[in-house]
Amino acid sequence: MTLKKLSPKSKVKPSHKVILAVGAHPDDIDIGYSGSIAKWTEQGAEVYYLVLTDGSKGSEDPHISNKELTQIRQAEQQAAADILGVKKVYFLNFVDGELENTPALRKHIIKIIRQIKPNTVICSDPTFYYDTHRHFINHPDHRIAGEATVDCVYPFARNARTFPELLAEGLQSHVVEELLLVNFTKATYFIDISKTIEKKVTAISAHKSQFNDIKKFTEMIKQMSSLMGKKAKPKKLKYAEGFIRILLHQSS
């Protein structure tokens, strides 16, 4: 008999996992970590997307209407989710670029957490503000989406007294076990996406309205996934996605 090292792993099998991925805009989840999404759905996990804004600022074309752009982007998001085997995409349609961490936003997120009861929730790291090496400032909606989602995971979705009207609707409080935060510079928890990198490229390519040169963009994504693979621990990987992992509760 070999002695297994105790590790703080969730006891829920991947095939029984329910995962909620929260993004500010249509395409955030796919660009950020759709290699992991593809891997998890292939393992049998039930994955849901929650897109908080309507994506209505995602164009430089002054002639397209907000409504039309939102429709295009939501169709692209749905197509990407279908490629990845995502069970359902929820769109909240808050105005792109104007996201605030308000009770109204949190109530929507809590409602979905209590409806689908995820083991794992994934969102942007709200503390990820900028990256001097990549000459990059994180979009404020990404930070706000992360902050509101973290707040909902703890304490509000698990607190029965928060929004008591949800209890009246039959939505009981729910304890999320695992929170994964997307932070490209401080990641310490790595998912091997070597077998799903091409699916990630295909999913990102579904967001046709967002890229002038999709080939160039997806090459850059591959390079970033390769760099993350080199940083991966305990062993290096060909392609990886990185997160900060917070285990909140272990089921008995």
Give me the residues that bind Zn ion (CB under 5 A), please.
Answer: 25, 28
For Zn ion, which is the closer residue by CB, 25 or 199? Answer: 25
Write down the least CB distance from residue 124 to Zn ion, Å: 9
For residues 149 and 28, is the Cβ–Cβ distance under 8 A?
Answer: no
Tokens (6 digits) for 35: 């290699």
Spatial separation of the C-alpha atoms in residues 105 and 17, rounded to whole Å: 25
Specify which residues 178 forms β-bridges with. 120, 247
